[in-house]
């Protein structure tokens, strides 16, 4: 981990707002801008990056010296996910400490190599995984993903407050499903409300990094294993992800803190 310059947590207060889609496209957008990027799927209970990256279910990470995991390359990214370690039919019936331990192992025992950014796709909410990450690594910043509707904004607010309590700066807001444009007539409709992302960004004094439409293409491309930034790099949607990546890069340009936190050595015996 000492070879990673910046860790970026992509989080949401609730599920279903497009956090994982944002994570993979943000990572690919940072890479498209010339950075060396890794992607860690920290959603232990519901990993989805394996599908979104088009990695076959049979793929398992290689090991080195019986101690280290080698990241799985995908679209030029260095990736790791719980999805690589279990089958898609394996339910993760774990209590919090076990999930936190799995995150720690993937984070610390993966040979990431030299990276400018490690993007971490966080599970929804404000629980054990978020606290474990803040204890084990110095997160350079968090990107909060939401939809414009009031209930999503309420949960996004809790996510922002949580990161503030653990001294992680919020880099900005990504608003998903902001508007739907009819493919037949071109009528634009704000199905989930309008300007919600801008409101919460204004309330907390952080930038609105991107406001993405409710577009069928984004869903189809990620389900097919070729996210928008690589499937349609010249599209309007890919341009929005690239703009968000540029804003994240600018926000982190002056930060040089190491990403590794010091913590006690743990010894296990049979006593």
For 206-259, the pLDDT digits (tens) are 999 999 999 999 999 999 999 999 999 999 999 999 999 999 999 998 765 555
Summarised one tens digit per residue, pLDDT across range 53-68 is 999 988 999 999 888 9
Which residue from 32, 94, 85 is spatially nearest to 55, judged by alpha carbons?
85
- 205 and 198 Cβ atoms separated by less than 8 Å: no
Give the CA distances from residue 191 to residues 28, 213, 228, 251, in Å, rounded to whole numbers and listed in that order. 28, 10, 22, 31
pLDDT of residue 89: 66
Summarised one tens digit per residue, pLDDT across range 11-53 is 998 888 999 999 999 999 999 999 999 999 988 888 899 999 9
pLDDT of residue 136: 81
- Superfamily in which the 4-252 domain is placed by CATH: P-loop containing nucleotide triphosphate hydrolases (3.40.50.300)
141-146 and 37-41: which strand pairing? unpaired
- Whether pTM exceeds 0.85: yes
Q: Domains of the chain: which residue ranges?
A: 4-252
- Give the contacts of 17 (CB within 8 A, at least 6 positions apart): 124, 145, 146, 147, 152, 176, 177
The distance from CA 220 to its chain's CA centroid, rounded to whole angstroms, is 19
CA–CA gap between residue 252 and residue 241 (Å, rounded): 17
Neighbours of 99 (CB within 10 A): 21
End-to-end Cα, the chain, rounded Å: 32
- 8 and 145 Cβ atoms separated by less than 8 Å: no
Q: Which residues does residue 29 pair with via DSSP β-bridges, in sequence order?
A: none
Q: Is residue 261 over pLDDT 60?
A: no
Q: Which residues does residue 166 pair with via DSSP β-bridges, in sequence order?
A: none
What single DSSP character describes residue 122? Answer: P
Instruction: Tell me the pLDDT band of 133, cut-offs 50, 70 and 90.
Output: confident
CA–CA gap between residue 172 and residue 211 (Å, rounded): 11
Instruction: Tell me the pLDDT band of 266, cut-offs 50, 70 and 90.
Output: very low
């Amino acid at each position: 981990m000492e070879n990673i310059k910046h860790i970026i947590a992509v989080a949401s207060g609730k599920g279903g707002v497009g956090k994982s889609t944002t994570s993979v496209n943000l990572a690919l957008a940072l890479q498209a801008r010339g950075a060396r990027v890794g992607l860690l799927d920290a959603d232990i209970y519901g990993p989805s990056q394996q599908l979104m990256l088009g990695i076959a279910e049979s793929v398992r990470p290689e090991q080195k010296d019986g101690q280290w995991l080698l990241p799985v390359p995908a679209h030029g990214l260095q990736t790791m996910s719980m999805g690589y370690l279990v089958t898609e039919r394996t339910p993760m019936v774990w209590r919090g400490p076990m999930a936190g331990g799995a995150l720690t192992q993937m984070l610390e025992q993966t040979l990431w190599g030299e990276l400018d950014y490690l993007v971490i796709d966080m599970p929804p909410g404000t629980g054990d995984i978020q606290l474990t990450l803040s204890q084990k690594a110095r997160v350079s910043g968090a990107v909060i993903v939401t939809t414009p509707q009031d209930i999503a904004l309420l949960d996004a607010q809790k996510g922002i407050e949580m990161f503030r309590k653990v001294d992680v700066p919020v880099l900005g807001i990504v608003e998903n499903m902001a508007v739907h444009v009819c493919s037949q007539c071109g009528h634009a409709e704000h199905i989930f409300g309008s300007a919600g992302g801008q409101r919460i960004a204004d309330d907390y004094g952080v930038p609105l990094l991107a406001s993405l439409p409710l577009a069928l293409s984004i869903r189809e491309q990620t389900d097919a294993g070729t996210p928008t930034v690589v499937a349609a790099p010249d599209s309007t949607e890919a341009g929005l992800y690239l703009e968000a990546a540029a804003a994240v890069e600018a926000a982190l340009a002056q930060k040089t803190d190491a990403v590794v936190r010091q913590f006690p050595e743990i010894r296990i015996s049979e006593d």
